[in-house]
């Protein structure tokens, strides 16, 4: 592995460790919920990072639909896959927090349901990419990504326009967060963004390698089929 990559990994590990320390030790204990509120320091930054990656996927898909470049398609699949990992964490840590606080694991309100729908959209996107055959797979996936992204603003706005069980948003919700809690959220978000970038870099390298294999396979079958 090259030195800049190793340095990036070391920086990300340090940031994640610092974020963990902030969330579990430095941030004060919330008065009503107690220590279980600390799940918030992983749940919220994971959600924000997931949204960032889905936004990148949206723009890469538009770029692909207009330009049909390999780079844009590779960025689209990379951001969708890494985004889905963060979104899975959101969907699992949310119910783990909800059980002791609400007394239930799940409720079909607008926020939770739209979050699950968003997860399903990107699962469908990756299934289309994995199992669809033919030359139009990337175009179909890009179109699905562009329309699927419409659920992202709905996820955010759902707690504004619907009566939901979910708490109000951290940004623009009117609630006041202790500065130390804010720091823990922001440090963890910074760490998660850096971590997501490293994951995207590795996933992008994998995509390039897989495309090389596909091209070599195609070339080989062409050579085998050509008259000698």
Partner 1 sequence: MNPIPFLYAAYIVTWVIHGVFILTLVTRYRKADRELRDFQKK
Binding site for partner 1 (CB under 8 A): 20, 24, 33-36, 38-39, 42-43, 46, 85, 88-89, 92-93, 96-97, 99-101, 195, 199, 202-203, 205-206, 209-210, 212-213, 216-217, 220
Rounded to an integer, what distance in angstroms lies between the CA atom of residue 197 and that of residue 135?
29
Closest distance to partner 1 from the beta carbon of 45 (Å): 10
Rounded to an integer, what distance in angstroms lies between the CA atom of residue 159 and that of residue 157?
6
Residue (111 or 203) nearer to partner 1, CB: 203
Residue (65 or 198) nearer to partner 1, CB: 198
Closest distance to partner 1 from the beta carbon of 177 (Å): 18
Rounded to an integer, what distance in angstroms lies between the CA atom of residue 89 and that of residue 41?
12
Residue (172 or 225) nearer to partner 1, CB: 225
User: Are 82 and 53 spatial neighbours (Cβ–Cβ below 8 Å)?
Assistant: yes
Residue (143 or 198) nearer to partner 1, CB: 198
Closest distance to partner 1 from the beta carbon of 195 (Å): 8
Residue (136 or 205) nearer to partner 1, CB: 205
Measured torsion, CA atoms of residues 205, 44, 36, 179, in degrees rounded to the nearest 10: 120
Closest distance to partner 1 from the beta carbon of 140 (Å): 22
3-state SS assignment for residue 30? strand
Residues belonging to the chain? 228
Closest distance to partner 1 from the beta carbon of 89 (Å): 5
Rounded to an integer, what distance in angstroms lies between the CA atom of residue 206 and that of residue 212?
10
Residue (15 or 89) nearer to partner 1, CB: 89
Closest distance to partner 1 from the beta carbon of 37 (Å): 9
User: Are 101 and 36 spatial neighbours (Cβ–Cβ below 8 Å)?
Assistant: yes
Measure Cα distances from 199 to 20, 63, 81, 193 in Å.
19, 22, 10, 10
Provide the token pair at 13.
């590990």
């Amino acid at each position: 592995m090259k030195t800049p990559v190793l340095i990036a990994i070391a920086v990300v590990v340090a940031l994640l460790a610092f974020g963990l320390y902030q969330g579990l030790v430095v941030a004060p204990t919330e008065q009503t919920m107690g220590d279980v509120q600390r799940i918030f320091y992983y749940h919220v930054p994971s959600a924000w990072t997931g949204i960032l990656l889905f936004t990148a996927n949206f723009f890469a898909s538009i770029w692909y639909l207009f330009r049909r470049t390999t780079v844009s398609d590779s960025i689209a699949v990379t951001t969708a896959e890494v985004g889905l990992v963060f979104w899975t964490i959101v969907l699992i840590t949310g119910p783990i927090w909800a059980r002791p606080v609400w007394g239930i694991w799940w409720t079909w309100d607008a926020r939770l349901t739209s979050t699950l729908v968003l997860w399903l959209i990107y699962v469908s996107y990756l299934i289309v990419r994995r199992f669809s055959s033919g030359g139009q797979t990337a175009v179909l996936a890009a179109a699905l990504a562009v329309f699927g992204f419409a659920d992202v603003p709905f996820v955010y706005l759902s707690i504004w326009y619907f009566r939901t069980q979910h708490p109000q948003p951290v940004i623009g919700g009117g609630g006041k967060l202790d500065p130390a809690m804010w720091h823990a959220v922001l440090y963890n978000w910074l760490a998660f963004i850096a971590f997501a970038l490293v994951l995207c870099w590795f996933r992008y390298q994998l995509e390039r390698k897989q495309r090389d294999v596909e091209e070599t396979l195609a070339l080989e079958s062409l050579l085998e089929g050509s008259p000698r």
